[in-house]
Amino acid sequence: MKKILIYRNSNLGDFLITIPILKKLRQKFPGCNITFMTIKNKRNFFLPKNIENKVLVDDFLLFKKEDYKNFFQSIKLINKIKKKKYDTFIYLQEFSSFQRIFRDYIFFIFSFIPNKIGFSNYFFYRNYKKFSETIYLFKRVFDKSSVSEIKKLMFFENKINNRIIKKKIYITISPGSISAPEKWNDKNWLKLVNLIKKKYNHINIILTGTLSENKICNKIKKKFNYRIINLCNKTSIEELFNIIKHTKVHICQDNGSMHVASLYCKKNISIFNNHDPFGKWFPLNKKSKIISINRGINFIKPEMVFKLFKDIY
């Protein structure tokens, strides 16, 4: 049995863009064992091993940031990896600097994994206006694959219909963003919901997110209440997937929930920051609508988002 170790520091979105790679590995090496190595941050760990009963990852190898920086902790981590006797190591860490990749390369040299993939083409040129990070990441591992193949591997059929939310029709809103330097402010979210409720008062709105988004979601719930359900910090990862899988439209900032909507080809409006290259994190889903302004996220008006919503609802 082939044993594969993959390394990428991942929040939900970072993990989900590796799905085409995970699926392709399963196709190429049936019966392989895949371990995904990532930092365990302070929040509860919530990356999925399975999606729609399809096993993506057999195990997670979690470590603390301090383990990687401290010499003696690094030796312990290296020994832990060596004991697993992996056949192949796949480096999917995001582009950063030569110093970082050199440090990582030395670390995994001493892990004595014979086959290493993802280092040699780490610095190749990226044109994000042409392809997203999902495409470039895949081509670091399978460089001869077509874009159409990658897109097919990204998506899941909606086969399991045990709906958590029993409402026949609802939309979902996820206002948070973990890594963005600036968030779409609370006034904008309140104005957007107000515009939606004025025209579509019958709509059920499900609010999702982590504890950090609970403040704005409580504000929305308190102000509008009618047909608003606040599930911030109340769902497991499996429940979040189920809720977004059955939504009619998903509205979010540039966060992991955008990629969940993409997995199921859901209609999606994503409000983007301007701190990353344009197109880098765009989902592969053709039903996704992106709003991004060079001047910054809070120059995006709720009316602009609402216009898009009316077009796709």
Would you state the structure tokens that stand for residue 93, as one six-digit string? 């860490």
Segment 153-164 mean pLDDT: 84
Let me know whether 149 and 174 are in one domain: no
pLDDT tens, 232-250?
999 999 999 999 999 999 9
Quote the pLDDT of residue 230.
Answer: 97
The domain of 133 spans 3-154
Let me know whether 183 and 123 are in one domain: no
Would you state the structure tokens that stand for residue 202, as one six-digit string? 């019958």
Interatomic CA distance for residues 77 and 74, integer angstroms: 5
Would you state the structure tokens that stand for residue 87, as one six-digit string? 């056949």
Count of structural domains, the chain = 2
Let me know whether 107 and 235 are in one domain: no
Last residue of a domain, one of 119, 154, 189: 154
Q: What average pLDDT does the chain have?
A: 92
Quote the pLDDT of residue 43.
Answer: 62
Interatomic CA distance for residues 56 and 18, integer angstroms: 10
Last residue of a domain, one of 92, 125, 154: 154
Let me know whether 127 and 13 are in one domain: yes
DSSP assignment string, 168-188: SSEEEEE---SS-SS---HHH
Let me know whether 30 and 61 are in one domain: yes
Segment 163-179 mean pLDDT: 90
Let me know whether 224 and 177 are in one domain: yes
Residue 159 lies in a domain: no
Residue 160 lies in a domain: no
Quote the pLDDT of residue 64.
Answer: 86
Cα separation values, 181 from 129, 273, 276, Å: 22, 8, 10
Last residue of a domain, one of 126, 154, 182: 154
Residue 130 lies in a domain: yes
Let me know whether 81 and 199 are in one domain: no
Residue 263 lies in a domain: yes
Residue 303 lies in a domain: yes
- Whether residue 160 is predicted with pLDDT greater than 70 in this model: the reply is no
Interatomic CA distance for residues 32 and 25, integer angstroms: 8
Segment 59-72 mean pLDDT: 86
In the numeric block, the tokens 């097919």 are attached to: 152
Segment 9-17 mean pLDDT: 93
What is the band of 96 on the pLDDT scale with cuts at 50, 70, 90?
Answer: confident
- Whether residue 84 is predicted with pLDDT greater than 80 in this model: the reply is yes
Interatomic CA distance for residues 61 and 3, integer angstroms: 13
Residue 165 lies in a domain: no
Let me know whether 83 and 174 are in one domain: no
Phi and psi dihedrals of 36, rounded to 5?
A: -110, 120
Domain of 104, CATH number, reads: 3.40.50
Residue 164 lies in a domain: no
Let me know whether 297 and 174 are in one domain: yes
**DSSP state at residue 93:** P
30-34, 103-107, 134-138, 245-249: segment of lowest average pLDDT: 103-107
Would you state the structure tokens that stand for residue 207, as one six-digit string? 């609010």
Domain of 227, CATH number, reads: 3.40.50.2000
- 8 A C-beta contact, residue 297 and residue 184: yes
Residue 67 lies in a domain: yes
Quote the pLDDT of residue 107.
Answer: 93
14-23, 27-36, 152-161, 271-280: segment of lowest average pLDDT: 152-161
Quote the pLDDT of residue 101.
Answer: 86
Residue 246 pairs in a beta bridge with none
Let me know whether 210 and 234 are in one domain: yes
171-185, 205-219, 244-258: segment of lowest average pLDDT: 171-185
What is the band of 288 on the pLDDT scale with cuts at 50, 70, 90?
Answer: very high
